[in-house]
Structure 1
Amino acid sequence: MLKSISMAAAMLTISTVGVLLPAAGQRAQAQSAGMFVNAVDLDIVPAERDSFLAAIKENGAAAAQEPGCKRFDIVNLNSDPNHFFLYEVYDNEAAFKAHRETDHFKKYMATTGKMVAKREARQMSVVAGNAK
């Protein structure tokens, strides 16, 4: 009898865990699904580096305050002080497009147009987010 009760309790525990784990995984997936990433590699004219940094920092700080912007990282390649990487994360593509219509983005583009020697942008979707 005790063995039957123990087996029933074990089966109930396994069933409960089996039901809860997919739900937690689905919540994590739902939080990541649909997020939009704009990843940009930039080579800056060396003489313009300081001016570019001021402009991109201003744009990034303003972008991070936008309702649909989750992240706006400005990264500098250790081996090349004139190569930057922008990692922008938005709720969705509409939020990214709204960012590109802001006054601060338009100012950034007008200011830095001649400072950028090469620009390569890639748009992506988040498949899974693994941040703390």
Structure 2
Amino acid sequence: MLKSISLATATLAISAACFVLLAAGQRVEAQSAGMYVNSVDLDILPAERDNFLAAIKENGAAAVTEPGCKRFDILNLASDPNHFLLYEVYENEAALKAHRETDHFKKFAAAASKMVAKRDARAMSVIASNAK
């Protein structure tokens, strides 16, 4: 009788562990799915830095109100005050395309066209997102 109770307890423990591991794996997949990143390096003309900052802050603040935009970070390279990185996270590529059709993006793009010396955009997909 003691042997059958031990076997039942072990079976239950293994089943619970498998359930927990499966659930954890599903959460990781859910966190990684549905994220499309647009990473843009920009070199700004020094005389246009303040104008660029005003324009990109306005565009970024409006972008995160869009249903498909999850994040819009504006980063400045510590060693170069005129080099910026935009880190934009969207649910999918269609959401990025929808962002580019908004009035606020078109306003930003028109203004920035005379401020940007160099632009390098890279589309990326998220493999894993590790954050608190």
Between 1:53-62 and 1:8-17, the stretch displaced more is 8-17
Q: For residue 117 of structure 2, what is the aligned residue in structure 1?
A: 117
Runs of at least 4 residues of structure 1 off by over 3 A?
Answer: none
1:58 is aligned to 58
| Structure 1 residue 3: Cα displacement | 4.3
Single out whichever of 93-102 and 13-22 deviates more from structure 2: 13-22
Q: Equivalent residue of 1:84, what SS?
A: strand
Deviations 1:36-84 (A, max 9, x none): 1000000000111011000000000000111100000000010110000
Q: Percent identity?
A: 76
Q: What letter is aligned with 1:14?
A: I
Gaps of 5+ in 1: none
CA distance in 2, matches of 1:102, 1:38: 16
> What TM-score does the superposition give when structure 2 sets the normalisation length?
0.93
Q: In the alignment, which residue of structure 1 is the partner of 2:99?
A: 99
Moved more, 1-10 or 42-51: 1-10
Query: Which residue identity does 1:55 align to in structure 2?
Result: A
In 1, Cα distance between equivalents of 2:66 and 2:131: 21
Q: Aligned Cα RMSD in Å?
A: 1.3
Unaligned runs of 5+ in 2: none
How far 1:126 sits from its partner (Å)? 1.1
2: CA distance, partners of 1:20 / 1:70: 28
